[in-house]
Amino acid sequence: MKIKHLPFLLFFLFTFLAFAQERKLTKPDYKKIKKEIKKEKSPFYYPKLFQKFLEGDSTMTIKEKRHLYYGFIFHKKYAPYGGNSYLDSVTDLYRKEKHSPGDLKKIVRFADSVLNKKPFDLRAIYYQIYAYDQLGDQNNFKKKVTQFNTLIEAILSSGDGLSKETAYYVICVSHEYVLLNILGFKFGGEQQLIEHYDYLKLADNEYGIEGLYFDVSASLNHLNKMLKD
């Protein structure tokens, strides 16, 4: 996903720096999360968290965001693999040099079709952020920015990507490339699957970071389960 218009990029850069300096990196405990999101009286009860996400609730705590993001692997709509014709359509439309109001409304509709099946598709959410911003629809713009922030912050809380031990935990491979863009890195053209880690080589950057590690165990486990079934 090539980001050409990112009015909230500085927010993510500041968020990243704040996390890097102050956060305690915490790997998701999937078994614990699965147990917690099923309790109706728990603050992490999944239907409640998911509703907060859909409403663009900016008051969610980092623990709620983590249970929302990582808990989604137990949701019936979790499908980390497979293409989507609507995503292809909205991507092609987004890549146009100029967009008419009609184009922008189509971007919103096509992205809605993607999110109906894959509600955590970061690319589709970003396309809607862009479209709503261009349309001057500030209410929906803010809601979508909050949704995007929520998912990115959950990922950032899981690691720093500099080693296997501190890998970013993602529930979908496409999230890796979105995160690269958000952090200001460019993909170096080489991807390796090492055990249950994706290693993405980075293009030359001012930090001298050669590549980032992503734990993709959730996606791999889902794929193995599908193959067995």
For 80-95, what is each residue's pLDDT tens digit? 987 778 889 999 999 9
Res. 10: pLDDT tops 50: no
Band of the pLDDT at 227, cuts 50, 70, 90?
Answer: confident
Residue 115 has pLDDT above 70, yes or no: yes
pLDDT of residue 229: 66
Average pLDDT over the chain, rounded to an integer: 90
Instruction: Inform me whether the pLDDT recorded for 4 exceeds 80.
Output: no
Residues 37-72 pLDDT 10s: 999 999 999 999 999 999 999 999 999 999 999 999
Angstrom distance (rounded) from CA 175 to CA 172:
6
What is the pLDDT at residue 183?
87
Confidence of residue 23 (pLDDT cuts 50, 70, 90): low
**Could you state, in order of their start, the residue ranges of all structural domains in the chain?**
9-228
